[in-house]
Structure 1
Amino acid sequence: MKIAVMGAGAVGCYYGGMLARAGHEVVLVGRPAHVQAVHEHGLWLDTLHFQERVRLQADTEAHAVHGAQCVLFCVKSTDTESAGRAMLPYLADGATVLSLQNGVDNAERLQALLQRPVLPAVVYVAAAMAGPGHVQHFGRGELVLANSPTSDQLAHAFAAAGIPVQISDNVAGALWAKLVLNCVYNPLSAITGQPYGQIVNSPGLDVPRMMDDIVQECLAVARANGIVLPEGTAEAVLPLAASMPGQISSTAQDLARGRHTEIDHINGFIVRRGEALGIATPANRLLHTLVRLLEQATRVAGGPPGEQGAA
């Protein structure tokens, strides 16, 4: 299968690399330095279980998606429309487009722009770009796909590449459950500069109670929005730090690189939906504001569509 990765950051490179390793024809669309490194040396896939240099194609331009049977859309939420417009002229008629992005409304936004179905997916992977052409995997790696006519075929291809896939009739609930996790860990890691395990294990601070304040606001907004969340969504928040103790959030990584974060589509989304539904979200509003202030204090880099980091 020919697979294009639109936005070859940590998420796109991990899944693209795994699929290329399994024998699929993969092309990465990313930043110039990354593309050059892949051209010269291949993609260094540095995972928990193996380290391997994978040969695949790479390009800086959206025309590289031409002829792909499947497109993994992995750009930052802030770049959904611009990246969608860039690749639209080159999409094959029968191509399946998967949104592997943070946030809960990207697939809907992209589908409206492309005027064709976009399959939402929930991504659970801890990864980061350790340098151009080098993706580092810290844990997990599973996907939850919405049910569709192509989901079974995709799940089989991904599973054969070592990527666990679950097909769900409630992918909206799964996306919101992931949003809850992101609303907690992404801003806290960005503001403190600390990994998840260090945040939770802070002597003398009632971090779990503070996290629960964030979670309860998210749950209230989700319920008012008609979302049926998976059982145990709130209870899954604290244990995440134990499963990814050394993980730095994608928001923290973006700030460190002077790039725009996705905070408007994480805590900012909860704040906007809360306002529309008449629900107060002071904890999320504070986190959103603090990250935006940190963004303003950082020189924001330009470049091609931003790629998704750890999800």
Structure 2
Amino acid sequence: MRIGIVGAGAVGSFFGALLQQGGHQVSFLTRGKHLEAMQRQGLNIKREDESFTIHSTFTNDPEQLANSELILFCVKSNDTEHMANKLLPILQENAFVMTMQNGVDNEEILKKIFGVERILSCATYVQAVIEKPGIVKQQGRVALVIGELDQSVSQQCADIVACFHQASIDAKHTGDIVGKKWRKFLWNITFNPLSAISTATVGDLLDDKPLRETAESICKEAMEVAINAGVSIDPARTMETIFKNAERARVHQTSMLQDRLSGKQMEVESMCGYVVRKANELDIAVPTVQASYSILTFMNKQQSLDGGRLVTK
């Protein structure tokens, strides 16, 4: 299968490399020092039990992905609409676009641009970081849950899941991808904002009593929003699962914390902002999420990216 990775950071690079190893033709769209390093020496993947390097098409030109049958859409949520509009006139009309992004609002943006029948969504469970440009390190659990937004393309989605199996990737097809994404989103909002504010790892958040209580408050508020928005979850069981899964990610720096440390804009609007706006629509109080949103929005305003260095204005 011809696959394009749009936004080949840690996650996109990792899965793209596995897919190429599995026999698929993969092109990587990225930029900056990561792109330069891959063009010079290939993409190196380091796992707990192996290390391998692939050589492929590494580019900053979207036109080079024009013949893709499947796009893995991995850009930061802040860039979703801009990148989707750039791709629309380039891609074949029958190409699928699969979002592997955090949040639960990217699907709404993508289906308005490409049409609902072309959009697939993926709940992505992976711990991966760019150790240095051209080198991605992955550890721990790897799993994907993939589903279509329009049931008319259910078989095509199942066929794509089979392509991931071919590459020895643990992937499952679901008919309830919106519910699955919300459950993953609840994990993310529980730990991402607080870790970015405090610069704490997931393990630090679990072990520090005040921080853990704050994380639990965020989780409860977000679950109330989800339930009132029509998502079917059991609050007690969901809370237990979220914190149990966190125990397996103790050393993990969340994606939002990674962005803060590297001076990048954090996905504040797609994470906290979305919950705050949805809570306002539903007339639900979310004081802890609101506080996190205010703090992180201010942080985003204060930092800009200058040659990879964090600069405060």
- How high is the TM-score relative to the length of structure 2? 0.91
Please name the residue that 1:11 is paired with. 11
* Structure 2 Cα separation of the partners of residues 180 and 171 of structure 1: 14
Pick 1 or 2: higher relative contact order, CA cutoff 8 A, min separation 6: 1
Q: Secondary structure of the residue that 2:214 maps to in structure 1?
A: helix
Alignment of 1:196-275 (within 5 A): 196-202=202-208, 205-229=209-233, 232-275=237-280
Counterpart amino acid of residue 180 in structure 1: L
* Structure 2 Cα separation of the partners of residues 108 and 244 of structure 1: 29
Give the C-alpha shift of residue 48 in structure 1: 2.3
Alignment of 1:271-310 (within 5 A): 271-301=276-306
* Structure 2 Cα separation of the partners of residues 301 and 151 of structure 1: 40
* Structure 2 Cα separation of the partners of residues 107 and 41 of structure 1: 35
Does structure 1 conserve the Cα–Cα contact (< 8 Å) formed by 2:199 and 2:257?
Answer: yes
Give the C-alpha shift of residue 105 in structure 1: 1.8
Give the C-alpha shift of residue 241 in structure 1: 2.6
Note if 1:165 corresponds to 2:165: no
Please name the residue that 1:111 is paired with. 111
Identical positions, percent: 29
Does structure 1 conserve the Cα–Cα contact (< 8 Å) formed by 2:95 and 2:118?
Answer: no
Counterpart amino acid of residue 174 in structure 2: S
Q: Secondary structure of the residue that 2:14 maps to in structure 1?
A: helix
Q: Which has the higher helix share?
A: 2
* Structure 2 Cα separation of the partners of residues 146 and 32 of structure 1: 32
Give the C-alpha shift of residue 211 in structure 1: 2.2
Please name the residue that 1:306 is paired with. none
Does structure 2 conserve the Cα–Cα contact (< 8 Å) formed by 1:37 and 1:133?
Answer: yes
* Structure 1 Cα separation of the partners of residues 226 and 85 of structure 2: 30
* Structure 1 Cα separation of the partners of residues 219 and 247 of structure 2: 18
* Structure 2 Cα separation of the partners of residues 64 and 236 of structure 1: 42
User: How many matched pairs?
Assistant: 301
* Structure 2 Cα separation of the partners of residues 230 and 138 of structure 1: 30
Note if 1:53 corresponds to 2:53: yes
- RMSD over aligned CA atoms reads 1.7
Counterpart amino acid of residue 133 in structure 1: G
Give the C-alpha shift of residue 143 in structure 1: 0.9
Give the C-alpha shift of residue 293 in structure 1: 2.2
Does structure 2 conserve the Cα–Cα contact (< 8 Å) formed by 1:45 and 1:135?
Answer: yes
The gaps in structure 1 that reach 5 residues or longer are 304-311
Closer/same/farther in 2, CA of residues 302 and 78 from structure 1, 3 Å limit: farther
* Structure 2 Cα separation of the partners of residues 88 and 301 of structure 1: 30
Does structure 2 conserve the Cα–Cα contact (< 8 Å) formed by 1:5 and 1:12?
Answer: yes
Closer/same/farther in 2, CA of residues 55 and 229 from structure 1, 3 Å limit: farther
Give the C-alpha shift of residue 230 in structure 1: 7.0
The gaps in structure 2 that reach 5 residues or longer are 149-153, 309-313
Alignment of 1:24-103 (within 5 A): 24-103=24-103
Counterpart amino acid of residue 213 in structure 1: S
Please name the residue that 2:142 is paired with. 141
Match 2:194 to one of 188, 195, 217:
188
Note if 1:129 corresponds to 2:166: no
Does structure 2 conserve the Cα–Cα contact (< 8 Å) formed by 1:176 and 1:229?
Answer: no
* Structure 2 Cα separation of the partners of residues 13 and 230 of structure 1: 35
Please name the residue that 2:151 is paired with. none
Match 2:156 to one of 150, 158, 162:
150
Q: Secondary structure of the residue that 2:8 maps to in structure 1?
A: coil
* Structure 1 Cα separation of the partners of residues 234 and 155 of structure 2: 24
* Structure 2 Cα separation of the partners of residues 224 and 242 of structure 1: 28
Give the C-alpha shift of residue 206 in structure 1: 4.1
Give the C-alpha shift of residue 294 in structure 1: 2.1
Closer/same/farther in 2, CA of residues 80 and 127 from structure 1, 3 Å limit: same
Q: Secondary structure of the residue that 2:89 maps to in structure 1?
A: helix
Please name the residue that 1:307 is paired with. none
- How high is the TM-score relative to the length of structure 1? 0.92
Give the C-alpha shift of residue 301 in structure 1: 4.9
Closer/same/farther in 2, CA of residues 49 and 229 from structure 1, 3 Å limit: farther
Please name the residue that 1:179 is paired with. 185
Closer/same/farther in 2, CA of residues 22 and 198 from structure 1, 3 Å limit: same
Greater mean alpha carbon deviation, residues 236-245 or residues 219-228 = 236-245
* Structure 1 Cα separation of the partners of residues 205 and 222 of structure 2: 20
